[in-house]
């Protein structure tokens, strides 16, 4: 993967922009870092002063040495306290930024168009919001903790060394660029590796999420071996790119340590010669050697920080890609709120395709009057569910218009449009919580009697009553031990409770046994009275009573009419209907 400096700079710019609101805390952190470094660097001066007061046997100024030791103890205690305060502030800044980024990412997920969620695996998105943000936090925390103190230590030691001997300081300055060159040379090459590592980790998370969520399907089709092979392949890719990234990043520290040892040796040799010449005392030489060690130590830390920051920026880049994604088309400023919805729906010249190269719905026209039951049938992939997505404005039409009560749905708020529909899909959706909470989701203000009446109407009351805690039984987000049919009955009960002016039933009874289905169909028939209903069905026996049946093929309505008239035509609908009852 090519290392893109622009992407790095953009990621860094976005990180810095999110730090602006914490500038007071950052200023405090820098202040504490400066004071801590100043106190730490003052200790070698005191140590050198104490050494100079030990002239020889019997010539020790114990009073002065004792006073200096007390000073050192006070300074060390004050330094420890300030370091604790600085680290507390750094933790606060880091995790508040992480909280902000995660909140921003989650808010963006709420307004992303469905085409983004359809094009990216859920596990990969989860990896960005969880794992990548965690990696970003680690790098940011290390940056705050070590970058400020490291930079200040380097500057501070140079100032203190200059105050003792300029020549020896010059030796240190001349050798420093070697360490900087080594660190930057390696760091430039690690960003792309960490980015690849992060992306591969996302693929692995996506696969694990998919396999866990569909374990029954995997086992039913004996796909375990293939899943393991797929996992092993991605796992090996992750191992290789992680090893490369870690190997190159781990070279930084030993390389800079080697250069730092050269600096220490240079100061020792040069300082000894200067001390022999009488230009500095032994205490000054001790002080310079201590400074040389303190001066070089931050380079090791900063090189590690730079490596972590490369990883953090790579992860930040991925989460910012999500945050910067184009949201769904925003509502107009003066968007109307749909009220008094009776069920007048019209589609005029509608055209839509998921892929521009593969046209799907072309010149689709339909007028539905209040209370009409419209069934949509056709082979798989003909565009039935796409029509539902367009009616709900999960996707926007590319040509033409859809109107509800004469209003173009692009000119009304999504909330008011969708609140006019009640949906029961083939795929059930339940949240983690009680049965009661799941039924009341669409209408939280409903009474206990209304909720039970809805459950009875959907024929869910019987199995709910047999559960350990009845309506207070807690289920997981996928329904836990409930059967697919029971989960679908709960979704039907939810709609029965809401009683919206328009209904969308997409294979709503596909997972229910025939006996219960007949009863639910009766309940739906009562619910649909006076309500505009769109019914997507594969089992054509369930839509005989529909007022209008739209027969779709390749995105077009090829036939239209009621059940009897379409059978009489002997066309495509008759062919579909008879094929379901052929022996």
Do 361 and 301 share a structural domain?
no
d(CA 392, CA 419): 10
- Provide the domain limits for residue 35: 5-323
Q: How, if at all, do strands 399-404 and 345-352 pair?
A: antiparallel
Within a domain: 490: yes
Within a domain: 340: no
d(CA 401, CA 346): 8
* Phi/psi of residue 381, nearest 5 degrees: 85, 10
| 556-572: pLDDT as tens digits | 778 888 888 888 888 88
Do 431 and 362 share a structural domain?
yes
Residue 537 has pLDDT above 80, yes or no: no
Do 374 and 483 share a structural domain?
yes
Edge-first strand order for the sheet with 361-368 is 361-368, 345-352, 399-404, 407-408
Domain with residue 200: its CATH number is: 1.20.1560.10
Within a domain: 523: yes
Residues 308, 261: contact at Cβ < 8 Å?
Answer: no
The pTM assigned to this predicted structure is: 0.62
Task: Report the range of poorest mean pLDDT among 37-46, 50-59, 102-111, 479-488.
Answer: 50-59
Do 70 and 216 share a structural domain?
yes
| 304-344: pLDDT as tens digits | 677 677 777 778 888 888 888 887 777 777 888 888 888 88
Residues 555, 409: contact at Cβ < 8 Å?
Answer: no
Q: How, if at all, do strands 421-424 and 361-368 pair?
A: unpaired
Within a domain: 331: no
State mean pLDDT over 149-176: 81
For the record, the structure tokens of 106 come out as 């989650």
Do 402 and 296 share a structural domain?
no
Tell me which residue of 118, 111, 125 sits closest to 327, measured CA to CA.
111
Within a domain: 330: no
Domain with residue 467: its CATH number is: 3.40.50.300
For the record, the structure tokens of 580 come out as 């379901």
Show which of 293, 323, 353 is a domain's final residue.
323
Do 421 and 362 share a structural domain?
yes
Tell me which residue of 38, 31, 28, 25 sits closest to 79, measured CA to CA.
38
Do 364 and 306 share a structural domain?
no
In the DSSP assignment, the letter for residue 336 is B
d(CA 274, CA 285): 9
Helix ranges restricted to H, 420-511 = 435-439, 448-457, 461-465, 484-498
Do 366 and 294 share a structural domain?
no
* Phi/psi of residue 335, nearest 5 degrees: -60, 135
Tell me which residue of 232, 240, 141, 233 sits closest to 196, measured CA to CA.
240
According to the 3-state scheme, what is the secondary structure of 170-222? HHHHHHHHHHHHHHHHHHHHHHHHHHHHHHHHHHHHHHHHHHHHCHHHHHHCC
Within a domain: 452: yes
State mean pLDDT over 381-395: 82
Cα dihedral 13/15/18/19 (nearest 10): -100
d(CA 135, CA 27): 24
Does 287 or 447 have the greater pLDDT score? 447
Helix (H, G, I), strand (E, B) or coil at 20: helix
Show which of 323, 353, 382 is a domain's final residue.
323
Residue 1 has pLDDT above 60, yes or no: no
Do 398 and 293 share a structural domain?
no
Do 255 and 393 share a structural domain?
no
- Containing 527, the helix (H) or strand (E) segment is helix 514-528
Within a domain: 570: yes
Do 101 and 44 share a structural domain?
yes
Do 401 and 286 share a structural domain?
no
pLDDT for residue 503: 85
**Number of compact structural domains in the chain:** 2
Show which of 323, 355, 390 is a domain's final residue.
323
Q: How far is CA 494 from the centre of its chain?
A: 30
| 104-122: pLDDT as tens digits | 888 888 888 777 777 777 7
Helix (H, G, I), strand (E, B) or coil at 392: coil
pLDDT for residue 74: 92
Within a domain: 328: no
């Amino acid at each position: 993967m090519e290392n893109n400096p622009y992407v790095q700079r953009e990621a860094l710019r976005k990180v810095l922009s999110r730090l602006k609101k914490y500038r007071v805390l950052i200023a405090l952190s820098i202040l504490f870092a400066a004071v801590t470094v100043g106190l730490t660097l003052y200790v070698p001066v005191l140590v050198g002063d104490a050494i100079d007061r030990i002239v020889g046997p019997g010539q020790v100024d114990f009073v002065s040495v004792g006073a200096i030791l007390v000073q050192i103890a006070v300074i060390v205690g004050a330094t420890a306290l300030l370091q604790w305060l600085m680290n507390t502030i750094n933790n606060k800044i880091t995790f508040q930024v992480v909280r902000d980024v995660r909140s921003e990412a989650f808010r963006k997920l709420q307004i992303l168009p469905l085409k983004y969620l359809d094009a990216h695996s859920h596990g990969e998105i989860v990896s960005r919001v969880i794992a990548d943000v965690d990696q970003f936090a680690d790098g940011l925390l290390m940056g705050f903790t070590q970058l400020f103190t490291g930079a200040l230590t380097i500057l501070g030691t140079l100032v203190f060394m200059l105050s003792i001997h300029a020549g020896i300081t010059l030796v240190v300055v001349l050798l420093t660029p070697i360490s900087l060159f080594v660190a930057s040379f390696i760091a430039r090459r690690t960003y792309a590796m960490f980015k690849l590592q992060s992306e591969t980790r996302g693929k692995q998370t996506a696969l694990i999420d998919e396999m866990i969520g569909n374990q029954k399907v995997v086992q039913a089709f004996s796909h375990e071996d293939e899943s393991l092979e797929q996992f092993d392949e991605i796992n090996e890719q992750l191992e290789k790119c992680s090893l490369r990234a870690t190997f190159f990043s781990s070279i930084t520290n030993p390389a800079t340590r080697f250069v730092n040892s050269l600096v220490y040796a240079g100061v020792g040799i040069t300082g000894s010669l200067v001390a022999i010449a009488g230009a500095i005392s032994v205490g000054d030489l001790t002080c310079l050697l201590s400074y040389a060690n303190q001066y070089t130590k931050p380079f090791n830390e900063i090189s590690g920080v730079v490596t972590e920051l490369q990883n953090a920026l790579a992860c930040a880049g991925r989460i910012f890609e999500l945050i910067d994604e184009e949201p769904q088309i925003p509502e107009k400023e003066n968007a109307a709120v749909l009220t008094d919805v009776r069920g007048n729906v019209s589609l005029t010249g509608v055209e839509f395709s998921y892929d521009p190269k593969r046209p799907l719905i072309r010149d689709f026209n339909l007028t539905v009057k209040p209370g009409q039951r419209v069934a949509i049938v056709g082979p798989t992939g003909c565009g039935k569910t796409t029509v539902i997505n367009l009616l709900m404005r999960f996707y926007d039409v590319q040509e033409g218009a859809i109107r509800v009560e004469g209003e173009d749905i692009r000119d009304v708020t999504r909330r008011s449009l969708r609140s006019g529909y009640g949906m029961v899909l083939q795929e059930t959706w339940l949240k983690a919580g009680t049965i009661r909470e799941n039924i009341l989701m669409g209408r939280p203000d409903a009474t206990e009697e209304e909720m039970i009446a809805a459950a009875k109407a959907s024929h869910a009351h019987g199995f709910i009553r047999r559960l350990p805690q009845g309506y207070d039984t807690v289920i997981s987000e996928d329904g836990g031990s409930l059967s697919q049919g029971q989960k679908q009955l709960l979704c039907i009960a939810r709609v029965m409770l809401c009683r919206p002016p328009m209904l969308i039933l997409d294979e709503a009874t596909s997972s229910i046994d025939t006996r219960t289905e007949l009863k639910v169909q009766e309940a739906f028939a009562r619910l649909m009275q006076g309500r505009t209903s769109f019914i997507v069905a594969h089992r054509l026996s369930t839509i005989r009573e529909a007022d209008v049946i739209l027969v779709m093929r390749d995105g077009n309505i090829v036939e239209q009419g009621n059940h009897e008239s379409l059978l009489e035509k002997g066309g495509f609908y008759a062919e579909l209907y008879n094929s379901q009852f052929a022996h």
